[in-house]
Structure 1
Amino acid sequence: MSFFNKVLASVGIGAAKVDTILPKGSYVIGEKINGVVEIKGGNVEQPIDEIYLSLLTQYTKKSDDKEYVQTAVIAKYRVSEKHIIAPNEKKEIPFSIALPLSAPLSQGKTRVWIQTGLDIKNAIDPTDKDFIEVLPLPVMKAVISSVQELGFRTREIECQEAPRYLRGVQSFVQEFEFVPVSGAYRGKLDELEIVFVVKSESEVDLYLQIDRKARGLGGFLSEALEMDERNVKVTVSQADLSSMTRKLDEVIRRYS
C-alpha cells in the first residue's frame, strides 16, 4: 500500500498541498508583502527541496504579424529550502517579500499573481495561485490624473513586449494609451502613449509617444510613414506633484 501511495503521490494524487495566505489583496509598488505558506502533507512522506514564490503577469508579443500571449516572471523568491513533510502534517512558513518596482499596475487588461510552488523530486510540483492588485506610486497616480485633467481619456492599458531601447531592462512594458476628448489637444493629437519606468519610489521615467493628427496631404503621408510620432523621455519625481499638470502640458505642447 505504501509503495502504491508513493506512485499516486508522484502524479499528484494524495500528495502534499500548498496554500499561500495573504493578509490583504492590494499592494503599492515597492511595498512589503507579508504572508504565510501553508503546507499540508498527503498520504505519504515527501521531501521538499525548495519552496518558492513567483510574481507573474502576461504580455503580448508580436511575431510574423501575429500576436502571442507570453507569461513573464517579474520576480522569483526562495522562501525556504529543504523540508520533510510527513503524512497529514501541517506546516506554516512565514515570508516577507518586496513588490518589485518593475511590477505593472493592475489596470486595463493587466493581471498580476503570486504563484507558490513546492519543488518535490520525482513528482508533480504542487502549486497555488493568488491574484493581487498592484497600485500606483503617488508620482504615477499624479501623472495619470494630470493627463486626464488635460482632456485625455484612457483608451487602453496593456502589457507588451518591451521596445529595443528598454529590452535590456525588462522583457515587457505596460503601455497606457490616451485619446484627447476635450481641451487644447482635441483635434490636434490622435493619441498619447505613456510607459512608466520606475527608478525609485519617488522618481519615475516617462516614455511618451505623442501622435500628432494628420493635417492635409503632407500630414497623411507623414502618418503613413509614422513620421507624425514624437518620442520623448521625461523624468518626474515627488517634487513635481504640485506642478505635474503644468509640467506635462509644457512637454506635450512642445512636441505636438
Structure 2
Amino acid sequence: MEENDCEGILFADSIGEYDLVRYADRILHILCTEGSMSFVFCDVRYNIVQGDYIILPQASFVSDFTASPGFKGIIMSLSEPFVASMGIRSNYGFIGHMALLQNPVMKLSQHDFRKCLHDMERIRERLEEKDHLFREEMMGHLLTAHILDLYDIHARGQEARQIPERAAKLISRFIGMLYDGSYIADRDLEYYASRLCITPHYLTEISKKVSGRPATWWIDRFTLYEIVRLLHCKELSVAEIAERLHFSSLSYFSRYVQKRLGISPSAYRSELPKN
C-alpha cells in the first residue's frame, strides 16, 4: 500500500496489500488490467475480468477477494471527506452510488478502459509531486475529472432519470441513516419518513425514482447484510443475533430471514464452510 501525506487518495498494486478492516469506511476503486478476480459484495459473488471497473462505495460490505495468478489492476482508495470536499455540482453521484450498491461492476468499452487507465495513472503519477505548492487542489481537480468520466460512463448505461435536488438530498439523508446503523433498532418505513419530515408514501416514491427500488428494499438490504455478517460469527448464537438486531422474538427473526433469503438462519449457517 502506498502511504503518502495526501490521505484522501491511496493506491495499491494488489488486493492483498489492501487492509479492508483499516480502510472499511473508504471508497474502493479497482480497474482490472489483466487476469481475473472475484469477490463477495452484499452476499453476492462477482467475477471480473480485464476491462472491468469496480467501485465499492462501502468497503465493509465486501469480502472473500480471490485473484487469479495473473491478475493485475490499479487499486485506488478514496476517503469520503476528500471526495465531498471537491464539491462536484451534480446529483448523479448519489444516483450512481445507489446503483453501485446494487451492482458495483461496470463493463468498460475499449475506449472507456483506455480513458480510465489514463486517468488513474495520471492521478498516481501526480500524487508523487509532494513539493507542488497547490498539490491538494491539483489532486482534487484530477480526481474530479476522473469521477466525471465515471459518471458519464455509468449514466450512458442507465435509464435517464431527472432527479430534483430536494429528492436527492432526502434520499441521501435516508441512506446516511442506514449507514449509521438505524436499521438495527428501527426497520419501519414510518420511522425514516418521520425523521425526514415527509410521508412514507413520498419516501417510497422518491426512492423508486432515484434507485428503482422502494425505501423498504433498502432497509432490508442493510439489515440482511448485517444478519449475514453476524451469521458468519459462529461464536454468536442465532438467538443472540436476533436480540442484537432488536427482533421481538427468535421466531420472528427466523421468519424475516426465511422470507427474504429463502432459507432459515440456522440452515444458512449450517451451509457455511467449516473453518
Calculate the TM-score normalised by the size of structure 1.
0.23
> Comparing both structures, which one devotes a greater share of its residues to strand?
1
> Comparing both structures, which one devotes a greater share of its residues to helix?
2
The structure with the largest alpha-carbon Rg is 1
Q: Which structure has the higher relative contact order (CA within 8 Å, separation 6+)?
A: 1
Calculate the TM-score normalised by the size of structure 2.
0.22
